[in-house]
Amino acid sequence: MKDEFLKYLESIGMTKTLRKRVETIYAFYTETCPDEITDIFVSDYIKEDRTREYQNLWFFSPKCCMEAHSFITEDYFDIDAMQNRIATWEIRKQDYDFKKATEKSRLHLVFWLPPDRHAEFKASKENCDYLKDIFLKYVVPNLIQCEKARDFGKEDTA
């Protein structure tokens, strides 16, 4: 696995055991993704007892996003082509200025891939900065142009 991925996992407090789990999932996706995997993200949130809960593991390539659902306990994987396919996105942020995360920062991102897929990400603390980068690098550039969005799903009548 790439060194920068391991550094990221360490920066969000992931244990060595969980990092090894991520490495096995990364190996699976390197065998099944047609592109080079260029980024990683772990969806997380802070529980009432103030501990961090990791939810889903994401990998990104220039054309695809890959999700390992409930990656700590399950082997449930999917991959979606996302290049120029994002129909809409929404962001909710709390105590986050989109510049530098704090201990109180929270960020929630959802985007939709037609016809009926969506991707959901949560980030807390320093992980907000990583999610912001994912959003700017993969979501914003792949938003369907307004003209394409209006025409999506219409049959060619010619």
Q: What is the pLDDT of residues 14-52, one digit of tens each?
A: 999 999 999 999 999 999 999 999 999 999 999 999 999
How far is residue 76's CA from residue 7's CA, in Å, rounded to a whole number?
25
Domain 3-146 falls in which CATH fold? PH-domain like (2.30.29)
Count of H-run helices and E-run strands, the chain: 4, 7
How far is residue 71's CA from residue 101's CA, in Å, rounded to a whole number?
25
pLDDT digits (tens, 9 = 90+) for 57-87: 999 999 999 999 999 999 999 999 999 999 9
What's the one-letter identity of residue 77? Answer: F
Confidence (pTM):
0.90
Q: Is 151 a residue whose pLDDT tops 60?
A: no
Q: Please calculate the CA angle 105-103-4 and round it to the nearest 5 degrees.
A: 85
Domain boundaries, the chain: 3-146
